[in-house]
């Protein structure tokens, strides 16, 4: 094989490796997304079997994180990627940490669902859990889509949606405090819903982080910790 | 300059860069640690000025994360580190994410402290906040020490301490629920303490993550998501 053929061969292998690590992140993301969906359904329908399944699946997510991380480190060590390839590997190692933590939040919601199956339903908070759950699952889905398509506009829209989640979350919490005060016998059960909403709000934060890595990946610019306006103008530039 | 001299020069520069990124993580860690300490003090002493200072400082932590991350990416791109050097850079990029999130938790505690300055003290929960705050600040301090000295035994002890924090946290939460039920007028204020304890418990989780990166750094083995016993036996082997 001539030198160019060899180089081509190597770089084809390298591309395959990058492609594989990318698709592994998306696979992990898909699993995490369905974990959140299942956890919210288990909560809404007081389905303890489904909640138990979420708990069991979390182990799979943890081991996916480890193996994708190993792939990334192997690529860094052997291929010494530069420029956009390096950014992809970095975005993947950071992104899977967020996905793993989304998995943790899904597990926590499932645990609260189990608790509520035992103690009886909360008098309030389910409408809010369904609503905020829907919002953050969509954010997560779009962040993963944005990653798959390297779509910066979609990533920006995810970042924007996080503001709305935070507002809805704050207003749900205020309402639930009133419910507790009106009937203190409900405190424990309302708290279970509150912790679940808190977890959902965290899922929104992680989806936002993921979207920011997409922007970094495509634009080569770190956009964490800057305001929305500055972010939008950076992306348009 | 002869070839060896040049190589020596390059590798000396490379070592300096690694040393710098390591010490920047420790510097960021020191700031984050004092943010947690200050936030807890602000909560215990209803000191809203100190709480405000914590909020302001959080921006500095965020910008430290970004600049250390850039240093790491520059090292990966230019130096193409291998083996333990690569592990150091990876451990730093992962570790600073945890430190930044500890900073977020300190900010959240400060915000609850401000809330309590306005609404009046919670009838309970301060002893627990002081106690759990002390535990997690120590964990964080030891995790950073373990990082500085590459001390695997100390890192293992941090991982072990997290179990205790989780237990103390769960028992404090149970107690606070009873307080709320006994006097529903206290619900909002008790909730502020509960959120603060939750944040402290998260600080413990992040300190644990940091300790796990130290073990990875020194032993070259990823020890996330394995049980304590298996972890201890891996380290001894």
Rounded CA separation A210/A156 (Å)? 11
Residue segments in chain B with a per-residue pLDDT below the cut of 50? 1-3
Long-range contacts of A218-224 (CB under 8 A, 24+ apart): A218/A150, A218/A152, A218/A155, A219/A152, A220/A84, A220/A87, A222/B66, A222/B69, A222/B70, A224/B62, A224/B65, A224/B66
Q: Is residue A103 predicted with pLDDT exceeding 70?
A: yes
In this prediction, residue A2 carries a pLDDT of 47
Are A165 and A132 a contacting pair, CB within 8 Å? yes
In this prediction, residue A237 carries a pLDDT of 65
Predicted ipTM of the assembly:
0.88
Q: What's the residue count for chain A?
A: 237
Are A231 and A158 a contacting pair, CB within 8 Å? no
Provide the shortest C-alpha distance from residue A2 to chain B (in Å): 27
Q: Using CB atoms, which residue from B90, B187, B224 is nearest to A180? A: B187
pLDDT tens, residue by residue, A5-60 = 556 667 889 999 999 999 999 999 999 999 999 999 999 999 999 999 999 999 99
pLDDT band at A232 (very low <50, low <70, confident <90, very high): confident
The chain-wide mean pLDDT, for chain A, equals 93
Q: Which residue has the tokens 């193996």?
A: A67
CB atoms within 10 A of CB B149: 12
pLDDT tens, residue by residue, A140-151 = 999 999 999 999
In this prediction, residue B1 carries a pLDDT of 44
Kindly state whether B226 is in contact with chain A, defined as any CB-CB distance less than 8 angstroms. no
DSSP 8-state secondary structure symbol assigned to residue A225:
T
pTM for the model stands at 0.91
Are A112 and A192 a contacting pair, CB within 8 Å? yes
Provide the shortest C-alpha distance from residue A149 to chain B (in Å): 23
Rounded CA separation A9/A6 (Å)? 5
Whole-Å CA distances, B131 to B27, B50, B163:
25, 20, 15
Provide the shortest C-alpha distance from residue B237 to chain A (in Å): 21
- For chain A, domains (ranges, CATH) are 12-236 (1.20.58.220)
Kindly state whether B224 is in contact with chain A, defined as any CB-CB distance less than 8 angstroms. yes
Which residues in chain A are closer than 8 Å to B65, comparing Cβ atoms? 224-225
Kindly state whether A227 is in contact with chain B, defined as any CB-CB distance less than 8 angstroms. no
């Amino acid at each position: 094989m001539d030198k160019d053929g060899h180089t081509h061969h190597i770089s084809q292998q390298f591309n395959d490796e990058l492609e594989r690590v990318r698709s592994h992140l998306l696979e992990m993301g898909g699993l995490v997304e369905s974990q959140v969906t299942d956890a919210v359904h288990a909560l809404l329908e007081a389905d303890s079997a489904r909640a138990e399944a979420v708990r069991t699946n979390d182990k799979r997510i943890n081991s996916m994180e480890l193996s994708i991380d190993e792939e990334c480190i192997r690529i860094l060590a052997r291929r010494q990627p530069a420029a956009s390839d390096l950014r992809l590997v970095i975005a993947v190692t950071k992104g899977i940490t967020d996905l793993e933590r989304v998995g943790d939040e899904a597990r926590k919601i499932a645990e609260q669902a189990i608790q509520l199956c035992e103690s009886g339903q909360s008098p309030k908070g389910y409408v809010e859990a369904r609503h905020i759950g829907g919002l953050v699952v969509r954010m997560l889905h779009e962040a993963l889509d944005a990653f798959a398509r390297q779509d910066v506009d979609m990533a920006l829209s995810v970042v924007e949606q996080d503001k709305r989640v935070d507002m809805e979350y704050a207003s749900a919490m205020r309402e639930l405090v009133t419910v507790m005060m009106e009937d203190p016998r409900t405190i424990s059960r309302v708290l279970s819903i509150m912790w679940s909403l808190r977890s959902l709000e965290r899922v929104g934060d992680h989806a936002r982080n993921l979207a920011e890595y997409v922007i970094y990946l495509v634009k080569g610019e770190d956009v964490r910790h800057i305001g929305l306006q500055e972010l939008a103008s950076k992306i348009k530039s």
